[in-house]
Every structure is written in C-alpha cells, then in structure tokens.
Structure 1
Amino acid sequence: MSPENEQDETDTLPARARSRWSRVSQWSGTRWGRFNTWRAGRPFLGGLLLCLAGVLITWVPMQILPDLAFIGGQMAGFLAIGALFGVFVFLTGIYVLVKPAHADVAGVVGTVLAIFSLFGSLGGLLVGMLLGILGGNLCLAWKPRDDVVDDAVSEPSVVDKAAARIDAGFGRLVGRLLLSCRAGIDRIKRWGTDE
C-alpha cells in the first residue's frame, strides 16, 4: 500500500465517525427533547414515586402470601388486601403520568392508599408508604405551566381585597383602643398626683 492510500483512509475515518456521531446525537437529541417536553407537561416525579411506592408496597406481602395461600386463614386475606393496596398505588402513579389533568385527585387517592397500606403490608416496610405519601403530595402540588401566573403581575382577588379591608379596619380599631387606654392611664396618673 502506498502512503497516499493510508493518509486518505485516516482522513476519511474521522469524517465518517463524525458523520455517524452527528446522526446518533441528532437522533438521541430529538428523542431526549421529546421526552423532556412530555415530562414537563405532567407531574413526572410524583407519578414515578407513586409507581415505585406501589412496587415496594406490593413486594412485602408477595414474599409471604404464596406460603400462606396453602394454609389459608385470615392472614392470607389480610396480605392479599395489602398487595391490592400496592397495586392500586402503582396504578395511581400510572394514571397521573397518563392523565396529568387529574393529578390532584389521583395524588390524594395515592396518598390515602399509601397510608392504608400500613395495615395490609406494613406500608412496604414503611419506605413504600413514605414514598407514596411524598409522590401523592408532589402530584397534588403540581400545576401545569400554562396555569402558573406570577403573583406580582396578577390582580388581587376579591378575597384578598376583603381581607385587606378587614385588616385595615382592625388596625384602626386597635389604634383607637390603644389611644383610649393611654389617655385613661394618663388620667389615672394625674389623678394620683393631684391627691
């Protein structure tokens, strides 16, 4: 092989690698961008924590339930209810990710079910219950970006205006009471010095 052919191959190899890398980065960049857009439109972390809590809550009774299924009794039913709580917590997490408009209701349901899982499956050794409560609260607190309004820009509501009027009236009342109390104390001091 001549040295010219070796140099041509080395020049084209980095160019090919850059070309392939740019195609891969463009492909992954568009997918990552679409995922970020999808994620920003819903309470992603709250839904993810609810799903993880559901798995942990279901895991605990499923470790014991197969052994007790043959024996039967009340304990098997108790553990089955605990496993159902875990499945429902997982499903609320999926529901939040699919229907973000109902995130507040699903967050409350997920939190309540996570708390009730304490009775059927020890709350996933308490870790699942705590993750479910946290995920439910994140779903409850989530607001879509379109509904977020800066407080400095928005007008005060009717309730805020009424509260401001009540506060101003209360301030005037307290001011009058303080003035009358001071005047009374001054009269008492003068009356004590006149005698």
Structure 2
Amino acid sequence: MSAETTGSRDFQHWRLRFRAWRGRRPFWAGLFTIAGGVPIMYFPYANMHLGNVTLAMSTTAGAGSLIIGVLLVTLGLTMWFHSVVRTFAGVAAILLALISIPIANIGGFVVGFLLSLFGGALACAWVPGQAASRGQADGVDGRHARRSRARGRAGADNRRYRNDSRRQRREEQCGVTRRSWTRPEAATRGKERGRGTRPRGSHC
C-alpha cells in the first residue's frame, strides 16, 4: 500500500466524519454569524494606509463594536456546539446585527450586518433531520417483501410454462396427445400399438 493511497483514505475518512458532524447542527448559520462578527469588531480598530497618509477608522463606539463582534462570534460557536439553543442564538444574532448599524460603522460597512442577519435567520429556520419512523420502515420492508413475492411467483410461473412447453413438444414428437385422452382410451391404443410397456430409453 503506497503512501498516496493511505493519505487519500485518511482524507476520505476525515471528510466523511466532518460531513456527519456538519449535518447534525446548523453549520452554515454559525459560519455566517462568525464571519459577520469579524468585520464588525475589526474595522473600528483598523488603520488604512494611503501612501504616506494613515487613516484611523476608530470611533468612540470602538468598545461597543468589539463587544458586538465578540458576542456574534460566541453565538456562532454556540450554534455549532450547542444547537439546542439555536433559536435563541439566531434571534440574538439578528438583534445584534441590527444594533451594529448605528454603533459599529454601519454594521462593519454593511458586510458584517448582512452576514450576521443571514446567519441568524438560518439558525432560526434550521431543524434537525428526523430518522424514518418504525411505521415507515415497516411499510418500506412490506413493499420490498411484496415485490420479492411477486418476483418469486412470476419466476415460478415462467418455470411452469417452460416445463409445460417442453412436455408438450416431447409429446408431439412421440405422436401422443395424452391430455386429450382418457385413461381407458390411452390403455386401448397402447395395446393396439403393442406398447404395453415403455421401451427403454424412450421419452414417450
């Protein structure tokens, strides 16, 4: 086994585990909420350099922006690791996104506002997947069983038809139509033809 094969199997294993982990929680809701909190708490403390000119975008609401951003990141992680409170986390994310408009540089220049709003809406709308109920599973098994029985009956009918056809061809080759005769007639004709006993090796 080569190293490339081992590496590809390990990658496939971790990819499947991550997919299963992601499917049991509002993953995208948490991701959008975290991504929305980052620009909200980053822009008030960032400096933009234009040549030799430095523009400081910090405002008097820098502490408020930092708190809103940290809360949004915390809510996003809560959606991932404690999805039971996803509705509360989604509503809180939507409220913080709305509050960030007047406090945090128009919600992180609208980028953080939109991402947080979308993430909160996804968290409120997400519901865990439900496994098939016992009745549905029994119904599926019953349908499979009925189909299997129908295929079995069809196969038996086909075998019976082939056997009948083979027997009919053999009787036609022997010149005897046993189905149209009664037993006394068959015995009489057999005696007339001198076939009281069936010859050895004969199929008739």
**TM-score, normalised to structure 2's length?**
0.56
Is 1:58 the counterpart of 2:41? The answer is yes
The DSSP-based 3-state class of the residue aligned with 1:47 is helix
- Alignment partner of 1:124 is 2:121: no
- Partner amino acid, structure 1, of 2:125: A
2-structure distance, mates of 1:82, 1:21:
47
Q: Which residue in the other structure is 1:5 paired with? A: none
CA contact (8 A) 2:28 2:122 kept: yes
Superposed CA deviations along residues 135-179 of structure 1, whole A, max 9, x for unmatched, are 000011000012899xxxxxxxxxxxxxxxxxxxxxxxxxxxxxx
Distance of 1:98 and 1:31 partners within structure 2: 18
Once residues 131 and 93 of structure 2 are traced to their aligned partners in structure 1, the CA distance between those partners, rounded to angstroms, is 23
Report the counterpart of residue 27 of structure 1 in structure 2: 10
Alignment of 1:156-171 (within 5 A): none
Contact 1:80 1:120 (C-alpha < 8 Å) held by counterparts:
no
Question: Is the 2:44–2:57 contact (alpha carbons within 8 Å) kept by the matching residues of 1?
Answer: no
Cα distance change on mapping 1:40 and 1:61 into 2, 3 Å: same
Match of 2:93 among 89, 107, 110: 110
State the 1:127 CA deviation: 1.0
Deviation at 1:79, TM superposition (A): 2.1
C-alpha distance after superposition, 1:22-65 (max 9, x if no partner): 2111111111111000000111111000000000111121227x
- Which one has the largest radius of gyration? 2
Give the letter for the 2:116 counterpart.
G
| CA separation of 1:112 and 1:147: change in aligned 2, threshold 3 A | farther
AA aligned to 2:46 is Q
Question: Does the Cα contact within 8 Å between 1:82 and 1:119 map onto a contact in 2?
Answer: no
Give the root-mean-square deviation of aligned CA atoms: 2.2
**Superposed counterparts of 1:13-92, under 5 Å:** 19-63=2-46, 75-76=59-60, 78-92=61-75
Q: Kindly tell me: are residues 68 and 49 of structure 1, through their superposed partners in 2, closer, same or farther at Cα, counting changes over 3 Å?
A: closer
1:139 aligns with 2:116: no
Question: Residue type of the partner of 1:34?
Answer: R
Q: Tell me the alpha carbon deviations over residues 103-135 of structure 1, each in whole angstroms, 9 at most, x when there is no partner.
A: 111011011111101121120101110110000
Aligned with 1:146: secondary structure? coil
Normalised by the size of structure 1, how large is the TM-score? 0.59
The number of residue pairs the alignment matches comes to 124
State the percentage of identical aligned residues: 30
Q: Which consecutive unaligned segments of at least 5 residues does structure 1 have?
A: 1-15, 70-74, 150-195
